[in-house]
Each structure stands twice: as structure tokens, then as C-alpha cells.
Amino acid sequence: MLLLTGAALIAGASVVAAQVDHGKLTGTWSSKGNYTVTGPGFYDPTKDRLNEPLHPGISYSFTVDGFYESAYYRAIANPVSPTCPKAIMQWQHGKFQKLANGSLVMAPIVEDGRQLTSDPCNYDNSIYTHYNQSELFERYEYLIDPYHNVPRLNLYRFDGSPLPPLYLVYQPPNMLPTTTLHPKTTATGRSKLKRSLGILPPSPVQPTNAWIDADRWWWFGVGVTGLGSFLYFCC
């Protein structure tokens, strides 16, 4: 069953039966250049760490049975100091549903989402937090890109504005396990997850000390090494 939890958005909306053919959506999609791709290369759940891709980009993965994963790495231009863009990495996974009216609703697993923001010119530390944002895509289009001759996915945000075109990178999709990776944290703030997901490339973003556990949210300082590619722009 494709029952969603915590998705007030879809309450009352008529939902296509669970066995709906998500065929065309199935796979891993990435914006131009394939720099940002879902899966363990982007988010390492064992170390609980986001790995900065070479360049900004967006990636979505969808399974045939209603699971999704999303990865965003964006730089936000600073018109006052062009060499000081802010950068944001966001990772989520959960379930999605296609509504009868053609919209897609993404309901993330609230414990698992992660966000890393960096503002290198205003402070030395990046900010690493939980991230939980359900999404509605008003509609989507599948096509064979006329220039690159590869499958392409156009996603339109809730307000109708398009995401950059996404191109098919992997089929079947390249994703982390679709189950909850970080079951509710204990009073000490430690994750119960002990399972290793294998050897992963080292991250340029090195978390350091200083856990401040405040219920669902935490912050810790990360070194500024590797922030060079935050100077690229995207989207």
C-alpha cells in the first residue's frame, strides 16, 4: 500500500491506485552534467554527512513502487559580493504519489532529511540540520530530449515554475535504502543506525566537534576546506 504518513497535503485528494504505472518516472534523474546524483555518493547515512558534489545540480530518483529520493546542491548568487555566494545542500527520501489530477506529492521520512548551508564570507562554519519539506509538483513531463536524444523529465513546482530539465542517469535508480535510515533519536541524540553501507569516498566537508543536540535539530561546525566549488552557480 502506498499510504503516506505526515502528508497533510494529500489529505482528501483523490489518489490513483497503488499499482499505477510509474514506469516513465522510474530511475535516477539529474540536471545537466550529472554532477549531483542521489545515492550514497551524495549522502552518507553511516557518517551522517553530505558530500559536496563537484558542481551544483539537482537529482531525483523514483522507484516503480512509489519511493523517491532527492538531492539538491545550489549556490545562491550574492549580487553585492559576487565572490560570496551562499550554498545549500539538501537531501531527502520518502514516498511519492501521483494524484488523479497529474500532480506528484512527495512525503519525506521526517527523521532522515538533511540540509547543509554555508555562507563562507559571513561566518566560518556551515550549518548542518535536519530537513523536512514535503513537496508538490503540479505536473511532470517525460520526453526524449531532442538535442541529447536521452530521456528527459520536466518537473513543475507547485506554482507551475519549472525545475531545470533532468536527464536519465541510472535505471534502475541509484538510491539509498528506502526505509527509515535514522529511526527516532534517543535522549542522547545518538542515532540507532549502526549498519555500514560500505566504503564511501571521503567528503571534503569535514564535520568537527561541537554537537548541540536540541531535540530534532542540531548544528555542528564544519571546516571551510572544500568550499571552493561553492563558487559555482546553478539553476
Ligand X SMILES: *[C@@H]1O[C@H](CO)[C@@H](O)[C@H](O)[C@H]1NC(C)=O
Interface residues with ligand X (CB under 6 A) are 6, 8, 13, 33-34, 99, 101-103, 110, 132-134, 136, 138-139, 150, 169
Q: How far is the CB of 36 from ligand X (least distance, A)?
A: 11
Nearer to ligand X, 73 or 222 (CB): 73
Residue 90 phi, psi dihedral angles, 5° rounding:
-135, 135
Is the Cβ–Cβ distance between 26 and 172 less than 8 Å? yes
Q: How many CB atoms lie within 10 A of CB 227?
A: 17
Nearer to ligand X, 110 or 205 (CB): 110
Nearer to ligand X, 33 or 228 (CB): 33
Q: How far is the CB of 32 from ligand X (least distance, A)?
A: 8
Q: How far is the CB of 18 from ligand X (least distance, A)?
A: 18
Residue where the block lists cell 571551510: 224
DSSP classification of residue 66? S
Nearer to ligand X, 76 or 136 (CB): 136
Q: How far is the CB of 41 from ligand X (least distance, A)?
A: 13
CA dist 112 and 179 (Å) reads 10
Nearest Cα neighbor of 165 from 26, 62, 70, 31 is: 31
